[in-house]
Structure 1
Amino acid sequence: MTVATTTDVRLGDGTMPAHLWLPPGGTGPGLLLLQEIFGVSEYIRSRAEDLARLGYVVLAPELYWRTDGTVDESRADVLEQGMALQAQLEWDQTVGDSVAALDALRARPEVNGGTGVIGFCFGGGVAFNVAAVADVDVLVSYYGSALPQLLPLADKVGVPSLHHFGTADAYIPPETVEEIRAAVAGPEVEFHLHEGAGHAFDNPHPAFVHHAARADAWSQTVDFLARRLPA
């Protein structure tokens, strides 16, 4: 069975809480898991558990630690809550916090076989930026919402990368997705479009989920990780 615990990432100006999952074998490659705008939610924790079952040591930092609150998932206005908290973050500082979490993960004695980064929505953009400025072995980005603004960094991301987007994403229209595809294209990049899926299609909440896209994208992610960062 996997083991989930809490830990801290020490930074120059404070301590960022984080959540750690160990695989059944106790050791494995590392994966830094970066949250949606809803924080390290039950959904993100479930994906961390899924990744740990595959044999990875997973660290999910609380990127909202600098803000004045958290998302209450029991309320109907979760989207508004998440957007309000995200607006309180300074992008470069958040990327720096994520790089520090990556370094902390890589330094853990349980990690062997390389370290990658995976992010969803807000975290998908942060993950892309992390891959551009830090030493990672793989990148997985689900519908990275900041990617349209981060394309000048594309030539700095040289690691094996996997991108997922839905064709019915109201936040990232098809023409923008094609701009992203063209900017990140290369022999180490895999790019998947999921027909009829909207933004956040992997989130199981009824307002977001597209079941077929969720299943297909996860299968592709598992296959990609098995080939590019084997556990």
Structure 2
Amino acid sequence: MSSHVSDKPDTDFDSLLPPLTLDRRGFLVTSLAGGFAVAAGAVQAQTAIQTPTQGLVAGEVKIPVRDGDLPAYRAAPEGKRNAPVVLVIQEIFGVHEYIKDVCRRLAHLGYYAVAPEMFARQGDPSQIKDIPTLQREIVSKVSDEQVMADLDAVVAWAGQQGGDAKRLGITGFCWGGRITWLYAAHNPNLKAGVAWYGRLVGDTDPLHPAHPVDVAARLHAPVLGLYGGQDAGIPVTSINTMKDALGKGSPAAQASSFLLYKDAPHAFHADYRPSYRKAEAEAGWQRMQEWFAKSLR
């Protein structure tokens, strides 16, 4: 697969970008970190999955956005053009080895997978030692407006690089699960989303004016929610509230669905952490494949 820009997609993605107000200080993070994020805790080496790059074009790329170049990880089938594009949205820990590996897994399934570092302007999440500091110093400062605009730019770039941006999917984990729901309400060209245990309700603020429950009725693409019944931070009551909102919404909203793994905790797919549950993670991954196959193949 060529890495040069060619054959721009028919859709004018730049016209979809909302007006965006950003400071011009530039990017604090210009390249991706290696290994795993410190705040995520000790890596469970015996379960952490390591997917090879054979048969793939895989590695770090720089994606032009409105105020600079956004670092990202890209993995795609080698020699294959027009593979469906899947955005992979990080946890609060940034684009570290786990997220990169998810991209490689998707690429081996035939997708053009891209994981942009959504916190690049705010700082490097990989080296912060604890979750409260990470939340306070970086995550809380990342606006939803910024994220939506960056993802639109990533989609346009992927289409220019040989991916098929008309067959567009998104999946995200934890923080990225919430973003998956929001992006499904933002981009009318999205075909499918899979949200892994993303927060659905919560308090709002100027940088985060809405949560998934607030935009549920106007989804452009159906979303599959994969959640754990033992997730202390996402109670089942919030899932039921989201289901009610989806049921009153657009056709895509009504076509959305939840799978609740009753014995699974939060982050049950994160194979490098103690929260990993192999059976539920593999079952969810299979259901994600089936969900994408319906709309992206």
Q: CA deviation at 1:92?
A: 1.8
Q: Note closer, same or farther for the CA distance 1:218–1:81 as it changes in structure 2 (3 Å cut).
A: farther
Classify the secondary structure of the residue corresponding to 1:5: strand
Q: CA deviation at 1:187?
A: 4.5
Correspondence list, 1:178-193, <5 A = 178-185=240-247, 186-193=253-260
* 1:107 match: 160
The sequence identity of aligned pairs, in percent, is 27
* 1:53 match: 108
* 1:156 match: 218
Q: TM-score, normalised by structure 2?
A: 0.71
Q: CA deviation at 1:228?
A: 2.2
Q: Is the 8 A contact 2:158 2:165 kept in 1?
A: no
Q: CA deviation at 1:45?
A: 1.0
* 1:83 match: 135
Q: CA deviation at 1:79?
A: 3.1
- 1:214 aligned to 2:281? yes
RMSD (CA atoms): 2.0
Q: Which region of structure 1 is more displaced relative to structure 2, 11-20 or 31-40?
A: 11-20
Q: Note closer, same or farther for the CA distance 1:9–1:200 as it changes in structure 2 (3 Å cut).
A: same
Classify the secondary structure of the residue corresponding to 2:293: helix
Q: Note closer, same or farther for the CA distance 1:188–1:147 as it changes in structure 2 (3 Å cut).
A: same
* 2:49 match: none
Q: Is the 8 A contact 1:114 1:229 kept in 2?
A: yes
Counterpart selection for 1:22 from 73, 76, 91: 76
The one-character-per-residue Cα deviations of 1:1-41 (angstroms, maximum 9, x if unpaired) are: 12202222212222211111111452311111111111112
CA distance in 2, matches of 1:146, 1:104: 29
Which of 1 and 2 has greater Rg?
A: 2
CA distance in 2, matches of 1:155, 1:22: 33
Classify the secondary structure of the residue corresponding to 2:148: helix
CA distance in 1, matches of 2:102, 2:296: 17
* Unmatched 5+ stretches in structure 2: 1-54, 203-210, 248-252
Q: Is the 8 A contact 2:92 2:125 kept in 1?
A: no
The one-character-per-residue Cα deviations of 1:161-211 (angstroms, maximum 9, x if unpaired) are: 211111011111111111122222454212100111111111013332122
As a proportion of its length, which structure holds more helix?
1
Q: TM-score, normalised by structure 1?
A: 0.89
* 2:64 match: 10
Q: Is the 8 A contact 1:30 1:116 kept in 2?
A: yes
Q: Which region of structure 1 is more displaced relative to structure 2, 178-187 or 41-50?
A: 178-187
CA distance in 1, matches of 2:200, 2:229: 17
CA distance in 2, matches of 1:59, 1:208: 25
The one-character-per-residue Cα deviations of 1:78-113 (angstroms, maximum 9, x if unpaired) are: 534542421231222122222222222233323366
Counterpart selection for 1:119 from 166, 172, 186: 172
CA distance in 1, matches of 2:262, 2:269: 13
* Unmatched 5+ stretches in structure 1: none
What amino acid is the match of 1:195?
K
CA distance in 1, matches of 2:269, 2:117: 20
Counterpart selection for 1:32 from 87, 91, 95: 87
Counterpart selection for 1:195 from 251, 255, 262: 262
Q: Is the 8 A contact 2:246 2:254 kept in 1?
A: no
Q: Note closer, same or farther for the CA distance 1:104–1:146 as it changes in structure 2 (3 Å cut).
A: farther
